[in-house]
Amino acid sequence: MGEELNRRKFLTYVGTGVTALTVASAGLGAFTPKVVEAKGAKAASHLFGRNKKVSGVNFKPIKPTDKDDLVLPRGFKYDVIASYGDVINKKGETFGYNNDFTMFFPMKGSNERGLLWVNHEYTSDLWVTGPKKDGKYTKDQIEKLLYNQGGSIIEVYKEDGVWKMDTESEFARRITGLTPFKLTGPAAGAKAVAGAHTVQGTFANCSGGKTLWNTVLSAEENYESTSKDALLNETHYGWIVEVDPFNKGFSPRKHTSLGRFHHENAAMGLTNDGRVAVYMGDDKTDACVYKFISKHKYIKSRKQANSVLLEEGTLYAANLSKGEWVALTLEAVQKKAAGNQEILAKFQTQADVLVHAHEAAILLGATPTDRPEDVEISPFDKSVFIAHTNNSKHGNIHGHITRFLEGNDDLGSLTFDFEIFACGGRQSGFSAPDNLTFDSDGNLWTVTDISSSSVNKGVFSSFKNNGVFVIPTTGRNEGEAFQFASAPVEAELTGPCFTDDETTLFLAVQHPGEETEDMNNPTSMWPHRKGDNQPRPSVVAITGFHY
């Protein structure tokens, strides 16, 4: 671990950071950052095989703004690819509401054509279902509620510099709250899920991740209201789901080994001995950070059959006081709860532990933290970044980003150290860090999620609308945030995802005009479509990244 810290300190950037920003501000144009190796930094040699791509802090940061637009630095533009209600395929299926996580799957290695998986997190009474009557939705409303959550698989391509959706696609389809899913792992068929092997649909899909075998993981987050409104068994939701965007024959599944909680995302990597590690956040105040480690090893040639790795393994939660990953096993829970009949009655099988993972984690000494949302593994040094969005219960109003340093740089380690990498607040210019993604230069692209009811008010005034910030994780600007984008009014920017060559950044603009009360007087009209009369959550492609 000490070695790890030293290695990071040895890395020096030339041409990035302050110098680069000065150059850009002076209008002297683009520059090419270079990584140089300081004396004795042999351990960092793996970095020099990397091709520096074109993203990074290569722009003039924008200032906070309350403009009702997706505002970008000079030289960048966005194309709206798909908006709520758009037809996505020949069958006439439509794009769901409140798009969140996006993940690009290139076709034939292309950076200009591929499938884009998009999560749909929740709906709106005003714009989607219509209001409840006597506290209930009708059957039709429930169908809308379920259809407009889940995921969309759309085919996207770039033509004459403009990104578009290909509605003739053979692959484009919807996965919704009505799609059958099979359960895998210890809770499949267990009493804890009412004996179910198959469940109805996925919803509350927040963020997610990509597996090493090119499938998508989507995280079921705040599942309670929809399962209640649709009269569905709550224990069938709150899981990590897996879908293969290219293959309809790969049955959509929920992996119960990864635990049930308010899943934000799933970041996958390999342990030093070749097993799969999946890091996960639980987006609630006073909730834990989790890691799943598979029992068996990843074998590349097995391709999608590697999915079975997510069916068997150990779920851990982080104890930050001790720097230990605590295994959530039935044995440990029963030992800890000895003599407490109420707890022992609740935890009789490993399925019970997984279904009630948060309770088990707290019982076993895992640390309650400040809304752990996105977790990402640095491609640079395998340190693990966690967005702790905020927790007003004890005064962490603007949140922070935590960095875990796994023992021996091994994602399979059961010990870790950590640091607070960056803090939200006036001093840093950002508040409420949420989704994260890395570029190949080791910069952390961070979106913010100040709630619609707080944005631009009181202690959130200085930040204006939500945004995208780029935070170098090494070099002289380590931990400093540079604003890249500003969201439309009352929107949250979610799901940043680069194409492999980093010439395009996909981004989901969620809930523009969320505080609207009167349909005839919306607080936002983004994306300002000609002839439209409402704001629409939409996915955009941002271009303009240059060397």
Binding stretches for Ca ion (CB under 5 A): 206, 434, 449
How far, in Å, are 79, 146, 405 from residue 6 at the CA level?
Answer: 42, 50, 12
Q: Which of residues 434 and 514 has its CB atom nearest to Ca ion in the complex?
A: 434
Q: Which of residues 280 and 337 has its CB atom nearest to Ca ion in the complex?
A: 280
Given Ca ion, ligand FEO, none, residue 221, with its beta carbon under 5 to 8 Å by kind, binds ligand FEO
Given ligand FEO, Ca ion, none, residue 370, with its beta carbon under 5 to 8 Å by kind, binds none
Give min distance, CB of 449 to Ca ion, in A.
4
Q: Which of residues 366 and 432 has its CB atom nearest to ligand FEO in the complex?
A: 432
In this chain, which residue has its C-beta nearest to Ca ion? 449
Given Ca ion, ligand FEO, none, residue 121, with its beta carbon under 5 to 8 Å by kind, binds ligand FEO
Give min distance, CB of 263 to ligand FEO, in A.
9
Given Ca ion, ligand FEO, none, residue 381, with its beta carbon under 5 to 8 Å by kind, binds none
Q: 320-336 burial string, b = 16+ CB within 10 Å, else e?
A: beebbbbebbbebbeee
Give min distance, CB of 365 to Ca ion, in A.
27
How many distinct helices (H) and strands (E) make up the chain?
8, 32
Give min distance, CB of 459 to Ca ion, in A.
18
Q: Which of residues 148 and 543 has its CB atom nearest to ligand FEO in the complex?
A: 148
Q: Which of residues 390 and 504 has its CB atom nearest to Ca ion in the complex?
A: 390
Name the residues that contact ligand FEO, by CB under 6 A: 121, 206, 221, 264, 283, 373
Give min distance, CB of 500 to ligand FEO, in A.
26
Give min distance, CB of 435 to Ca ion, in A.
6
Q: Are 373 and 435 in contact (CB under 8 A)?
A: yes
Best CA proximity match to 120, nearest among 515, 470, 494, 514: 494
Q: Are 83 and 527 in contact (CB under 8 A)?
A: yes
Can you give the C-alpha Rg of the chain in angstroms?
Answer: 22
Q: Which of residues 119 and 474 has its CB atom nearest to ligand FEO in the complex?
A: 119
Q: How many residues in total does the chain contain?
A: 547
Given Ca ion, ligand FEO, none, residue 282, with its beta carbon under 5 to 8 Å by kind, binds none
State the burial class of residue 500 (Cβ atoms within 10 Å of its Cβ: 0-12, 13-18, 19+). middle
Given Ca ion, ligand FEO, none, residue 244, with its beta carbon under 5 to 8 Å by kind, binds none
Q: Are 397 and 384 in contact (CB under 8 A)?
A: no
Contacts of residue 326, Cβ cutoff 8 Å, sequence gap at least 6: 316, 317, 318, 319, 332, 361, 364, 365, 366
Q: Which of residues 121 and 441 has its CB atom nearest to ligand FEO in the complex?
A: 121
Q: Show the tokens assigned to 292.
A: 């799943």
List, as one string, the DSSP characters of 265-285.
--EEEE-TTSEEEEEEEB-SE
Read off the DSSP letter of residue 126: I
Give min distance, CB of 542 to ligand FEO, in A.
21
